Amino acid sequence: MCGRYVLKITLQELQQKYGATPEGIFTIEENYNVAPSLHMPVIVQQGDQRKIDKYRWGLIPFWAKEINSGYSMINARAESLEQKKSYASPFKSKRCVIPANGFYEWKKAGGEKIPHYITQKRSELINFAGLYEEWKPQKEGEAPIKSFTIITTDANKPISELHDRMPAMLLDEELDIWLDPENKDTDSLKDLLRPWPNDDISFYRVGKEVNSARNSGKQLINPYRDLFS
């Protein structure tokens, strides 16, 4: 699954990589411990234009009464997108890509949870497949909130050592197909949400400082060092 990730990139680099223009004025700060509820950069397509915007991590269904409705919609299972009421409609027309440099998974060992940092080998920047939604507060005059969720799929071979799920990730050449809001070919869209190739994943253990979302510095991705080795 995917509940924390890393983003260390400038807005300029994002524009260049995705050929996207920012919606409004905002800045991007590098964060080595991105946690749910933060507003993070996403790539969406409007018409034939790619846009960069910041949405909130944790999808809020458009019909929700309250922003904290008790749901935990930070991930969406690829296998059941069309069956789940909260995801069926965004899957049809509100697909997005969440840029990340890597992500964390916790491996259960006995009673312990051991954090690991995972990256792709070939690409410095990962394209998480996601869905977004726009939620309008009931109170008049309050700004709508756009939010997103990261799609998960079966873990590939290396990641299955840590966990049985992993985020769905896209090739650069698949982005046009995924982002096109006019694309209604859900069968081929689902085909994009496969486990990532085994030979393009690497990971290593990191220190427990990442456990607290209050920490966000670059030392969090330093390899774990046993004090007694």
Our CB check for DNA shows the closer of 56 and 146 to be: 56
* Least gap, CB of 71 to DNA (angstroms): 5
Among 10, 16, 198, 212, binds DNA (CB under 7 A): 212
Among 26, 49, 113, 219, binds DNA (CB under 7 A): 113
CB 124 within 8 A of CB 99: no
**For residue 211, what are the CA distances in angstroms to 32, 104, 106, 115?**
12, 10, 9, 8
Cβ atoms < 10 Å from Cβ of 105: 23
105 in catalytic set: yes
96 in catalytic set: no
Cα distance between residue 40 and residue 99, in whole Å: 9
Look up residue 137 and give its amino acid: P
Among 10, 16, 72, 186, binds DNA (CB under 7 A): 72
Is residue 85 a contact residue for DNA (CB under 7 A)?
Answer: yes
Cα distance between residue 209 and residue 49, in whole Å: 40
Q: Looking only at Cα atoms, what is the longest distance across the chain?
A: 61
Is residue 156 a contact residue for DNA (CB under 7 A)?
Answer: no
Our CB check for DNA shows the closer of 68 and 188 to be: 68
- Chain centroid, CA 35 distance in Å: 10
Among 3, 90, 99, 195, binds DNA (CB under 7 A): 3
Tokens found for residue 193: 């949400």
Looking at residue 36, the DSSP 8-state letter turns out to be T
CB 150 within 8 A of CB 143: no
Is residue 145 a contact residue for DNA (CB under 7 A)?
Answer: no
Is residue 35 a contact residue for DNA (CB under 7 A)?
Answer: yes
Is residue 1 a contact residue for DNA (CB under 7 A)?
Answer: yes
* Least gap, CB of 229 to DNA (angstroms): 22
Is residue 93 a contact residue for DNA (CB under 7 A)?
Answer: no
Is residue 61 a contact residue for DNA (CB under 7 A)?
Answer: yes
Is residue 77 a contact residue for DNA (CB under 7 A)?
Answer: yes
* Least gap, CB of 214 to DNA (angstroms): 4
Cα distance between residue 217 and residue 210, in whole Å: 9
What b-and-e string marks burial along 144-174, b requiring 16 or more CB atoms within 10 Å of the CB? ebbbbbbbbbbbbebbeebbebbbbbbeeeb
Count of residues of this chain found to bind DNA when the rule CB under 7 A is applied: 37
- List residues near DNA by CB under 7 A: 1, 3-4, 35-37, 61-63, 68, 70-77, 80, 84-87, 89, 106, 108, 113, 115, 152, 163-165, 208, 211-214
Question: What residues act catalytically?
Answer: 2, 105
